[in-house]
Amino acid sequence: MKSLKIMINGLPGNVASIIAGHALQDARITLLPHSFTGPEIEVSQCTISDTVIELIKPAERDKRVDAILKKYGNFISVDYTHPSAVNDNAAFYCNRVLPFVMGTTGGDREKLIQTVVNSTICAVIAPNMAKQIVGFQAMMEYAATTFPGIFSGYTLTIRESHQAGKADTSGTAKAMVSYFNRMGVVFSPEAIAMERDPTVQREQWGIPEAYLSGHGWHTYRLMSPDKTVVFEFQHNVNGRDIYAEGTMDAVCYLDRKLKTGETGRAFTMIDVLKENG
């Protein structure tokens, strides 16, 4: 068995399933055949490629995690569950000393980070695991820090479209709001236009039929006060494979940090990108 062991939580969900499929092909990683799942899940197992994975409901996880730790030793948890479970899951990971990568969006993010900081573990927490999008966010962070107020007076509109099953507003879009605010734009995350209707996505947005069940299209549009100047930033992702590579890199980054003895640290995907060059 390879030394870096992970458990992907959120199966049989679509994103978790894709991440698990990539993990099984990653030469650095051993995927444990267990997954924490939601109380509404009726099946007790699922199959990824040829690997049968036990699905563990919240009421069973305390007991089962003891047996898993006894059998496999230490491992890293990868969370792609549901926004409503983010903070409870983080508290569980911290209480049971289970370092984790949080790919799930939503929840109380400040509380999430503070839970890790107050614990004896480390985590990588990011609203988006796609490395190229994280790099774009880093560029916007640089602009916000280096050129504060540069878009003062401009009007911002943000549109984001995701599959109908995504319960919350995009965490990436919310993060982008903070950068634009620092660049002088008055805008609230509540003003983000969120689209979840497949018919509108296909007919008005032009999203391919094959990706209506899994996509992330974002447009950020800035207009000058006199409406003579427009800046537009866009990133459109079809499918979910882009998130898998970043997640695996985040797992390996966290493993290296744990081996140096780090505790009580909440890292970001920007930290991961900086170390990986």
Domains of the chain: 4-125+241-276 (3.40.50.720), 131-238 (3.30.360.10)
Q: Determine the pLDDT at residue 277.
A: 56
Is the model's pLDDT at 2 over the cut of 70?
no
Is the model's pLDDT at 110 over the cut of 80?
yes
Neighbours of 61 (CB within 10 A): 18
> 6 pairs with which residues across the strands?
31, 76
**What are the tens digits of pLDDT across the range 186-201?**
999 999 999 999 999 9
Strand 215-223 relative to strand 155-162, pairing: antiparallel
Report residue 3 as tokens.
């030394």
What is the Cα–Cα distance from 121 to 94, expressed in whole angstroms?
6
What is the Cα–Cα distance from 76 to 93, expressed in whole angstroms?
10
Query: Which of the four pLDDT bands, split at 50, 70 and 90, describes residue 70?
Result: very high
Global pTM value: 0.84
Residue from 5, 22, 82, 166 carrying the catalytic annotation: 166
Q: What is the mean pLDDT of residues 108-121?
A: 97
Which residue stretches of 130-259 are H helix? Answer: 131-146, 171-182, 198-200, 241-259
What is the Cα–Cα distance from 260 to 196, expressed in whole angstroms?
43
Q: What is the mean pLDDT of residues 223-249?
A: 96
Is residue 166 annotated as part of the catalytic site, yes or no? yes
Residue from 162, 215, 218, 257 carrying the catalytic annotation: 162
What is the Cα–Cα distance from 194 to 175, expressed in whole angstroms?
15
What is the Cα–Cα distance from 112 to 90, expressed in whole angstroms?
7
